[in-house]
Amino acid sequence: MLTRYANAVEAIPEDTLAQVLKALGLPIYPRQALEVLMAGGMAQADVVLALLRLDTPDARAAAEALLGKPVTRCPPGLEVYEPRGLYASAQWVLGLLGPENRGADARRVIWVAPNPRLPTTPSWYRFRLLHVGITVGQFLIRGGQRRDVRGWSNEGSLRLS
């Protein structure tokens, strides 16, 4: 596959070729790079990606020569945003609140029955989050719901300290 791009591969500077071969996990023989790349089963895309990851002007020019088209760097697609604050239960679990503010979320699970829910229902997946020693706050952070804790403890599938 790389035989079509032999001229472009031979035009890559030796130091850049050595870095590409090292990044691809191949023996570093820059003067015989085409043979080494073909023996390693590499294709054009592998070489181009390795060149673009080097992020140097020589590597970029070599990648453009292999592709036959210019490479453009786009701005980041995601906007920067302010993170949301933590709920009180999450703050207590992470140790940001003292014991005076822990409330009902500090209760620990001391016994759990075998999962009584129908398999593959959302309630079944939430019940799987429970194990002995976990606090209600930790369960809520992992995706549990207060109504689950209340209902399961009332029906006897769960005991809290």
Q: For residues 93 and 138, is the Cβ–Cβ distance under 8 A?
A: yes
- What is the residue-wise DSSP string for 53-101? HH--HHHHHHHHHHHTS---PPPPSSPP-PPPPPPHHHHHHTT-S-GGG
pLDDT at residue 154 is higher than 90 = yes
Q: Are 28 and 18 in contact (CB under 8 A)?
A: yes
Res 134: pLDDT: 87
Reported as a single tens digit per residue, the pLDDT across 38-92 is: 888 888 888 888 898 888 888 999 999 988 888 887 766 666 555 555 555 555 5
pTM: 0.47
User: What's the confidence (pLDDT) of residue 127?
Assistant: 92
Higher pLDDT, 114 or 94: 114
